[in-house]
Amino acid sequence: MSFYPPVKVGLLGLGTVGSGVTRVLSRNAGEISRRAGREILITHAAARNLDTTTAHTAGMKLTGEALDVVNDPEVSIIVELMGGYEPARSLVLQALANGKHVVTANKALIAKHGNEIFATAQATGMMVGFEAAVAGGIPIIKAIREGLAGNRIEWVAGIINGTANFILSEMRDKGRDFPEVLAEAQALGYAEADPTFDVEGIDAAHKLTILASIAFGIPLQFDRVYIEGIRHITREDVAYAEELGYRIKHLGIACCNEHGAQLRVHPTLIPKQQLLASVNGVMNAVLVQADALGQSLYYGAGAGAEPTASAVVADIIDVVRTLTADPDNRVPHLAFQPDALSDLPVLPMTEVKTAYYLRLQAQDRPGVLAEVTRILADRDISIEALVQKEPAPGASDVPIILLTYEVQERWMNEAITAIEALDSISAPVARIRLEHLGFD
Amino acid sequence: MSFYPPVKVGLLGLGTVGSGVTRVLSRNAGEISRRAGREILITHAAARNLDTTTAHTAGMKLTGEALDVVNDPEVSIIVELMGGYEPARSLVLQALANGKHVVTANKALIAKHGNEIFATAQATGMMVGFEAAVAGGIPIIKAIREGLAGNRIEWVAGIINGTANFILSEMRDKGRDFPEVLAEAQALGYAEADPTFDVEGIDAAHKLTILASIAFGIPLQFDRVYIEGIRHITREDVAYAEELGYRIKHLGIACCNEHGAQLRVHPTLIPKQQLLASVNGVMNAVLVQADALGQSLYYGAGAGAEPTASAVVADIIDVVRTLTADPDNRVPHLAFQPDALSDLPVLPMTEVKTAYYLRLQAQDRPGVLAEVTRILADRDISIEALVQKEPAPGASDVPIILLTYEVQERWMNEAITAIEALDSISAPVARIRLEHLGFD
């Protein structure tokens, strides 16, 4: 077991996740070398400021200059935990050019620059591990890329942003409104001071981009993801959805058929009995529909120092195991061989078919329902359920809740425009997509 | 991509799972070679009877003699799907001796003879894949062995027998009794004509044996597993558990601390909010508590032709990928290097600490509760909840339901013996263990 020399790792970034990685590698050093068959040592680390109080940096060569680590001939694996596009991108490319393997937790980097990074890795025979970039510590990249390698993957639906899931869970549990819960999430440290990436769906879109690639064998196409956040979800919508047997979750959804791929992030009504509906708080979960296996679900912590470190360390061990393997036989970065990626088009949202939840504010007078249902019928949109609620205290308008069957989004857009033009409709229509996820 | 020659696989067994493997490999041939970088072909297959109506056997050399396949020099991977101990064990050992890698779905074989098989594989430099042996198509072996490789795993709790879970789910949903639901499960084909392996927990114990080894780095010790089935669970117990906020699941539980390992299969009350409690019907799920990641859960189909085939094919692809790797760098069969397994003792059940649900049938007269609670107090057993129910119509006895805090099983055994000796107690005490699984 001690036959092999220790593997020397250089760390870029000693923030939350970087410190977590140093703690996990030091605390579990014994277990890890019992598994990997050799020691894994962080010998070099670069950090913007070297106040390293929560990191275990004993024996490490510390520097403020990341390029020093990347260029150090002693280091064989670079772990990039700085986040952001630059200088992360340049440093990763330089590491690969220097003949070092790379492990990263940087979802934005992979989603936006992954194609370039993997091409470079391919050319230099290096590996890039990015398990930590999607759903934190859940080994979802490995599950899809290796565990389900015998399947044609049909779709993936994931709760892949813990902050958004926490907010929606709290809105449901406590009957509270979005701004109130967001403020609480910020106070608890779940949401950043600038929560845009989380609540607008950008972070989820980064992760979904990666999931779609490894599931379907298509290049990373962040710019083609339809992205909708959760700011417009009201506590009334949450409550009405519950009454109808659904729960609102902020999902990243990727699916694929012969016409094209769909990549979309948006709030979604899903059936309460679906296991995904029971994933609450900051937890993440990814549901995968595959042709041989059927549905499988992977659940765990999607963020945090040690959960993310768990994925980073697993990637390091994976790299160590394949150091001696023929590069052609390694698991391809995007699950499919680089020359076997598909140029399947990503469909525009107007061509996507889903079911819908609609909430209308209508004047309480005869004929309104007739007008609305006529507009839907004219576009072949079938209604699955329709509920007219009591007006809110002091209000004259009545909320009308509609669930529709599946229809192409272009027709729903038209219908909503027509409904909003009615004299009897007093506010914009609230529209939330609905997916049965196998529970039809 | 077509640079590498096809990998030639020999199949032993063309029953349900064997046929599934041939279907998946043929249907997904394109996707699989896009991933693996080469074709995977079943060139040889052995089956007891060659009525192969549901298998895709075009182009295969078929035989009734499994040893012919094992000894054929053309075949580089043997897939064993016959089940049972013999001749499976001898054939697998022979295949390894012949320099062939092995993939198997045979949980009984691995649980009982895995130590011998892995030692042989180690000596001959061959790989043995057994993902399909635990929880069917869920990639749980890969998740624990590779995805969580940076963690110290604290415990594993799994619903790993679909038949037992179906029965308990139906008992709860429909308020029915065990024998009635078992008969239905048999009619639906979920339960075998002889359901012993499923309802007595033997099948779950095979799988738990394997999970415990890869989680904690201990040898396979099937004979040390405490096994209790679900025959004695009544619909009343199911209903009382629900009232108290719990659900009864048949769990395989393995945990590990400095004193020893626990391996046990038994019905268990778990909190309703625990995601595992929402896993219904024939589905399987494994919950893992790891020191860095925290809780993660893996859910999917635990049986069936194609779900099992999904795991078998993933193993074949894994073997293909590491064909050129230095054997010392491969993922060790039992997750930890063979010379780094631990001799941690497996604790006898009397030393295990759990909480308990107890149901007593007591005469409806003063002093009974005082006697019972005195017996518990004398053994330092604290009561968390106590409910006295109405007598059943026409009955004079009253059911008393108790939830206790954690206590060593030896004291609970003593207490139960003492309680059953009371004049006022008219029937054996029903005892079901209770685990909070992180929800204390």
Q: Which tens digit of pLDDT belongs to each residue from B213-260? A: 999 999 999 999 999 999 999 999 999 999 999 999 999 999 998 889
Cα angle B428-B434-B436, degrees, rounded to a multiple of 5:
170
How far from B349 is each of A373, B215, B305, B343, CA to CA, in Å? 65, 20, 35, 18
Does residue A281 carry a pLDDT above 50? yes
The number of folded domains in chain A is 3
**The CATH number of the domain where B428 resides is what?**
3.30.70.260
B56 in contact with chain A, both atoms CB, cutoff 8 A? no
Identify whether A342 is part of a domain: no
Does residue A192 share a domain with residue A166? yes
Give A409 or A322, the one with higher predicted confidence: A409
Does residue B294 share a domain with residue B146? yes
**Which residues of chain B have a CB within 8 Å of the CB of A337?**
1, 34-35, 37
How many CA atoms lie within 13 Å of A253's alpha carbon, on the beta-carbon side? 26
Confidence of residue B126 (pLDDT cuts 50, 70, 90): very high
Nearest to B220 by CA among B282, B158, B130: B130
Confidence of residue B3 (pLDDT cuts 50, 70, 90): low
Identify whether A326 is part of a domain: no
Residue where one domain finishes, among candidates A101, A129, A157: A129
Does residue B365 share a domain with residue B226? no
pLDDT for A15-74, tens place per residue?
Answer: 999 999 999 999 999 999 999 989 999 999 999 876 656 778 888 999 999 999 999 999
Q: Provide the residue range defining the domain that includes A423.
A: 349-434
- DSSP label of A143: I
- Extract the tokens encoding B8: 């030639």
Identify whether B80 is part of a domain: yes
Does residue A148 share a domain with residue A72? no
Give A355 or B2, the one with higher predicted confidence: A355
Q: Which of residues 182-221 of A touch B (CB under 8 A)?
A: 217
Nearest to A32 by CA among A316, A325, A324, A331: A316
- DSSP label of A251: E
Does residue B146 share a domain with residue B124? no
φ, ψ of residue A74 to 5 degrees: the values are: -75, -25
pLDDT for A249-278, tens place per residue?
Answer: 999 999 998 889 999 999 999 999 999 999
Does residue B209 share a domain with residue B293? yes
How far from A21 is each of A37, A57, B281, B313, B331, CA to CA, in Å? 19, 11, 39, 33, 21
pLDDT at A364: 86
**The CATH number of the domain where A285 resides is what?**
3.30.360.10
Does residue A266 share a domain with residue A153? yes
- What's the distance, CA A81 to chain centroid? 18
pLDDT at B115: 96
B431 in contact with chain A, both atoms CB, cutoff 8 A? no
Identify whether A136 is part of a domain: no
Does residue A81 share a domain with residue A146? no
For residue A317, what is the enclosing H or E element? helix A305-321
Does residue A23 share a domain with residue A49? yes
Tell if the CB–CB gap between A300 and B299 is shorter than 8 Å. no
Q: Nearest Cβ partner of B37 from A291, A296, A337?
A: A337
Does residue B114 carry a pLDDT above 80? yes
Does residue B4 carry a pLDDT above 90? no
Identify whether B51 is part of a domain: yes
Does residue A262 share a domain with residue A150? yes
Q: Which of residues 101-160 of A touch B (CB under 8 A)?
A: 131, 137-139, 142-143, 146-152
CA–CA gap between residue A211 and residue A198 (Å, rounded): 17
Q: Nearest Cβ partner of B293 from A285, A301, A323?
A: A301
Nearest to A310 by CA among B408, B289, B7, B413: B289
Confidence of residue A3 (pLDDT cuts 50, 70, 90): low
**Mean local confidence (pLDDT), B86-91:** 98
Token pair 């890698």 is found at: B101
- Extract the tokens encoding A171: 């809105």
pLDDT for B357-408, tens place per residue?
Answer: 999 999 988 889 999 999 999 999 999 999 998 888 888 899 999 999 999 9
Q: Nearest Cβ partner of B331 from A150, A296, A321?
A: A321
CA–CA gap between residue A184 and residue A1 (Å, rounded): 50
Does residue A159 share a domain with residue A232? yes
Confidence of residue B57 (pLDDT cuts 50, 70, 90): confident
Residues of B with catalytic function:
207
Residue type, B405: Y
B301 in contact with chain A, both atoms CB, cutoff 8 A? yes
Tell if the CB–CB gap between A326 and B325 is shorter than 8 Å. yes
pLDDT at A52: 58
CA–CA gap between residue A115 and residue A127 (Å, rounded): 13
Residue spans of alpha helices (H) in B54-177: 66-70, 88-97, 107-124, 140-142, 162-174
Token pair 């009982």 is found at: B112
Coil vs helix vs strand at A201: coil
Instruction: Calculate the average pLDDT of chain A.
Output: 94
Identify whether A259 is part of a domain: yes
- Of B58-62, B149-153, B289-293, which gets the smallest average pLDDT? B58-62
Could you tell me whether strands A40-46 and A383-388 are parallel, antiparallel, or unpaired per DSSP bridges? unpaired
Confidence of residue A366 (pLDDT cuts 50, 70, 90): confident
**Mean local confidence (pLDDT), B348-363:** 96
**The CATH number of the domain where A94 resides is what?**
3.40.50.720
**Mean local confidence (pLDDT), B138-145:** 98
**Contact status, residue A78 vs residue A102, Cβ threshold 8 Å:** yes
How far from A254 is each of A285, A347, B43, CA to CA, in Å? 14, 11, 36
Coil vs helix vs strand at A184: helix
Q: Which of residues 387-406 of B touch A (CB under 8 A)?
A: none
Residue where one domain finishes, among candidates A259, A280, A300: A300
Confidence of residue B191 (pLDDT cuts 50, 70, 90): confident
**Which residues of chain B have a CB within 8 Å of the CB of A1?**
337, 339-340
**Mean local confidence (pLDDT), A177-206:** 91
Tell if the CB–CB gap between A148 and B320 is shorter than 8 Å. no
For residue B400, what is the enclosing H or E element? strand B397-408
Q: Nearest Cβ partner of B1 from A25, A37, A339?
A: A339
How many CA atoms lie within 13 Å of B145's alpha carbon, on the beta-carbon side? 25
Calculate helix-pair angle for B305-321, B29-36, nearest 10 degrees. Answer: 30
**Which residues of chain A have a CB within 8 Å of the CB of B300?**
293-297
Confidence of residue A194 (pLDDT cuts 50, 70, 90): confident
**Mean local confidence (pLDDT), B13-30:** 95
- Extract the tokens encoding B328: 């010392």
pLDDT at A1: 47
**Mean local confidence (pLDDT), A401-425:** 97
Q: Sign (positive/negative) of CA torsion A213, A217, A219, A224? A: negative
Does residue B87 share a domain with residue B39? yes
How far from A107 is each of A284, B114, B382, CA to CA, in Å? 15, 40, 49
Identify whether B317 is part of a domain: no
Residue where one domain finishes, among candidates A109, A129, A149: A129
